[in-house]
Amino acid sequence: MTNNAPADGRDRHDESAASDGIEKIGMTHSGAISLRMLNVEEAAAMLRISRNLAYELVRQQRLPHIRLGRRLLIPGHALERWVEEQSAVSRLPVDELK
């Protein structure tokens, strides 16, 4: 039987979570804690917008984000909620947008 664990002692699950660029913390099936943090480039890719537009939305305080030192992070749950809110606004009748 061979050991497929990375040489640094991390288990394979930790390695795949780190390699996809999304940090995952907490428990999964119970839903107690689940936190995904994306960098601006990852959020832009998910939204299918340019990196520059994503940074501009952050600068305008229109895209939810947190700043940790010089690092900008976008909580996955906040991004999902933001997309839902943007979709709801686009579904409003024209009279309500004025």
Q: What is the pLDDT of residues 58-69, one digit of tens each?
A: 999 999 999 999
Which CATH number applies to 22-93: 1.20.58, 1.10.10, 1.10.760, 1.10.3470?
1.10.10
pLDDT digits (tens, 9 = 90+) for 23-59: 555 444 555 455 899 999 999 999 999 999 999 999 9
DSSP annotation of 9 reads S
9: left (phi over 0), alpha (psi -120 to 50) or beta: left
Is this model's pTM higher than 0.75 or not? no
> Is residue 22 exposed (0-12), middle (13-18) or buried (19+ Cβ within 10 Å)?
middle
Spatial CB neighbours of 6, under 8 Å, sequence gap ≥ 6: 12, 15
Distance between CA atoms of 74 and 78, rounded to whole angstroms?
Answer: 7
CA distances from 88 to 40, 48, 49, 58, 61 (A): 23, 19, 19, 20, 19
Tokens for 7, please give them: 């040489």
Domain boundaries along the sequence of the chain? 22-93
